[in-house]
Structure 1
Amino acid sequence: MYSLNVAIPATVAALAGDLAMELPRARARPRGEHTLVVKRLGGGDHAAYARIEGRMRDVLRGTAPFAIRVTGVEQFETAVTGPSPVVYLAVESPGLRTLHERLCEEFDLVDGVEGDDYTPHVTVARGGTRAAADRLVERELDPIEWTVEELVFHDAERGQSVSRVSLPA
């Protein structure tokens, strides 16, 4: 599965890693693998991906940098796929939501996680006990704010970036 993601600053990745240590039975995201998905782009071979990326770059043309903010810890009690619960850093950003909506008009939706079901977030960990997840959700955090100036095309199967696009695009 390919996706277009927001580049995550080190402070957010470090926070997610620190919080994951409080979920000992959960599967934490490894350092450097935290993502914030803007839009899933589907799977397929490299040629299919190259066409999608080219089209995505056309759609992104004119996209300005936008503000984003991590506001706290939340959870999906039941994940759409994979182990539950999913503890995550909650993200607020009108610019991110607007971009997601624009991309959903141009590309197929992934049911259950995009369009009206889209919840911008950075996963901390999956699985583990609900009690540990509930304790972490009670935690108050100082917000982390930044301006998104770069988007990343990500290959989830290989766990790596494919390419990047700077904003304004």
Structure 2
Amino acid sequence: MYSINVPLPSAVTSLAADLAAELPLAQRRGRGEHTLVAKRLGDGDHAAYARLEAQGREALRGQPAFEAEVSGAELFETAVTGPSPVVYLAVESPGLVDLHERLCGRFDPVEGMEGEAYVPHVTVARGGDRDAAARLVERAVEPVRWTVDELAFYDADRSQPVSRVSLPA
């Protein structure tokens, strides 16, 4: 799956890793594996990726930088895919939501995950002890604010960015 992602500051990835350490029975993401998806683009081989990236770059033309903030940990009781529950860092960003909506006009939204169902977040851990997850999301988290001044085209199959776009695009 290819997507357009928001690169995360180290303060966010460190926070996610620290919280995940408190959920030893859950599937945790390692440092450097945390993502914030702005919009999934689709699957395909290298030729398909080249087309998706070109369409994505066109859709991003004129996109300004925007602000984002991790405001705390929350919980998806039941995941759309994969193990539940899902502990995540909630991301507040009207600019990201606006970008997502604009990209949904160019790329079909993934049902149940995008469009009106879109919740900007960074997954901390999946599955494991529900009570431990519930206790974790009750904790106060020091907010992390940053300016999103670039986006990354991301290859989820290889868990790595393919290219980047500086904002404003």
Q: How many residues align?
A: 169
C-alpha distance in structure 2 between counterparts of 1:42 and 1:84, whole Å: 24
Instruction: Determine the structure 2 residue equivalent to 1:65.
Output: 65
Which residues in structure 2 correspond to 1:1-169 (within 5 Å)?
A: 1-169=1-169
C-alpha distance in structure 1 between counterparts of 2:165 and 2:81, whole Å: 29
C-alpha distance in structure 2 between counterparts of 1:2 and 1:52, whole Å: 8
Tell me the CA shift for residue 30 of structure 1.
1.2
C-alpha distance in structure 2 between counterparts of 1:79 and 1:24, whole Å: 19
C-alpha distance in structure 1 between counterparts of 2:10 and 2:101, whole Å: 27
C-alpha distance in structure 1 between counterparts of 2:161 and 2:60, whole Å: 18
**Any stretches of 5+ residues in structure 2 without a counterpart?**
none
C-alpha distance in structure 2 between counterparts of 1:153 and 1:132, whole Å: 34
Q: Deviations over 1:92-141 (max 9, x none)?
A: 00000000000001111100000000000000011101001000110111
Q: TM-score, normalised by structure 2?
A: 0.99
> Runs of 4+ in structure 1 displaced over 4 angstroms?
none
Tell me the CA shift for residue 71 of structure 1.
0.4
- Quick one: which amino acid aligns to residue 25 of structure 1? L
Q: Secondary structure at the match of 1:106?
A: coil
- Quick one: which amino acid aligns to residue 75 of structure 1? L
Tell me the CA shift for residue 39 of structure 1.
0.1
Q: What percentage of aligned pairs have identical amino acids? A: 68
Q: Deviations over 1:10-63 (max 9, x none)?
A: 000000000000000001111101000000011111101110100110110110
RMSD over aligned Cα atoms:
0.5
C-alpha distance in structure 2 between counterparts of 1:15 and 1:142, whole Å: 9
**Any stretches of 5+ residues in structure 1 without a counterpart?**
none
Q: TM-score, normalised by structure 1?
A: 0.99
C-alpha distance in structure 1 between counterparts of 2:33 and 2:41, whole Å: 18
